[in-house]
A and B are shown apart, each in its own frame.
Chain A
């Protein structure tokens, strides 16, 4: 640990604003870059599950014999 106190970490001899701004502006897109595709996939997954349940219920109601093929 180079710094002596939390205040020194925050201030960084006058460069604190730039350093923390740079790290914050990097962290935000990085988190989004991981989170957005995960969210997109989860949504699609749930949509597909619902779709399957719907179509499964529909085919089961119409032709119960077909179910063994699945």
Chain B
């Protein structure tokens, strides 16, 4: 296990390993996404209260779940980068931020579209949507801070500090927004009691969550590979790979 982690820190080894991984994971991801989407859109029965609009949760919930998990991946990579000064951790963090931001934006947009037929308005200051909005700001902060530094090593360390503070703060933000919402909940859009979800609706949701995790991994790896090719263009191992292809 330790040698595996140690190997991950070496760019040439990582480049080869991630290439194989992507070649397998990308078709799997596309298949899972298609199967999950078709299952959720066409096969699963409609919700008895929300009708067919609930089918949006098959992309909304996975995007929100993986977006939040993505922040922890980013912050963890930041911690590794700060403590052990491993370059690959910098690359991971750099690649995770925009992917997480896009997933957060997807969760927000699909949440808004879901809100229109369900609540009658595009935007409601609901606890979950508000938390996602703040998560988006947290992501954008990391992306913007990275772009603002010219020295990219310093940029990675600054972003590591910021994302670690953000990670500590996220549970507090989520909890406080939750309390804030329950105190102010307008009666007209009260959404009482989450009914136990039927397994015919749950399985496609779980499948989509797995698919989005795979997608996050694939896009993370693809971004890291693109970054590595550029930063290591002068390295011998890459020149050899380029020459051999």
Q: Does A22 contact B (CB under 8 A)?
A: yes
Contacting chain A: which of B2-10, B103-111, B131-139, B172-180? B103-111
Chain B interface residue number, banded = 35 or more
A19 surroundings in chain B (CB, below 8 A): 41, 52-53, 55-56
Q: Is the interface of B mostly helix, strand, loop or mixed?
A: helix
Q: Does B16 contact A (CB under 8 A)?
A: no
B51, B106, B239: the one within 8 Å of A15 (CB): B51
Measured in the bound complex, the distance between the Cα atoms of B109 and A18 in whole Å is: 11
| Count of A-B residue pairs with CB < 8 Å | 102
B45 surroundings in chain A (CB, below 8 A): 2
Among B33, B114, B239, B242, the most chain A Cβ lie within 10 Å of the Cβ of B242
A1, A13, A33, A48: the one within 8 Å of B43 (CB): A1
A2, A23, A37, A44: the one within 8 Å of B37 (CB): A23
Q: Does B46 contact A (CB under 8 A)?
A: yes
Measured in the bound complex, the distance between the Cα atoms of B110 and A30 in whole Å is: 13
Q: Are A44 and B230 touching (Cβ within 8 A)?
A: yes
Q: Are B114 and A18 touching (Cβ within 8 A)?
A: yes
Q: Are B99 and A33 touching (Cβ within 8 A)?
A: yes
Measured in the bound complex, the distance between the Cα atoms of B104 and A33 in whole Å is: 13
Known: A15-B51, A26-B110. A44 touches B105 (CB 8 A): no
Q: Are A41 and B116 touching (Cβ within 8 A)?
A: no
Q: Are A25 and B113 touching (Cβ within 8 A)?
A: yes
Q: Are A13 and B52 touching (Cβ within 8 A)?
A: yes
Q: Are B56 and A25 touching (Cβ within 8 A)?
A: no
B37, B113, B242: the one within 8 Å of A18 (CB): B113
Q: Mark A6-50, 1 if CB is under 8 A from B, else 0.
A: 000100111110110111011001100110011011001100110
Q: Are A22 and B102 touching (Cβ within 8 A)?
A: no
Q: Are A23 and B43 touching (Cβ within 8 A)?
A: no
Which B residue's beta carbon lies closest to that of A49? B242
Q: Are A9 and B42 touching (Cβ within 8 A)?
A: yes
Which A residue's beta carbon lies closest to that of B218? A34
B60, B219, B225: the one within 8 Å of A22 (CB): B60
Measured in the bound complex, the distance between the Cα atoms of B160 and A6 in whole Å is: 50
B37, B55, B102, B225: the one within 8 Å of A33 (CB): B102
Q: Are B42 and A23 touching (Cβ within 8 A)?
A: no
Binding site for A on B (CB under 8 A): 26, 33, 37, 41-46, 51-53, 55-56, 59-60, 63, 99, 102, 105-106, 109-110, 113-114, 116-117, 215, 218-219, 222-223, 225-226, 229-230, 233, 238-239, 242-243, 245
Closest 7 CB pairs of A and B: A12-B52, A37-B222, A41-B226, A15-B53, A15-B52, A22-B113, A37-B226
Given contacts A26-B59, A33-B102, 15 further A-B contacts (CB under 8 A): A1-B43, A2-B42, A12-B53, A13-B52, A15-B51, A18-B117, A19-B55, A34-B26, A34-B218, A34-B219, A41-B225, A45-B242, A45-B245, A49-B245, A52-B239
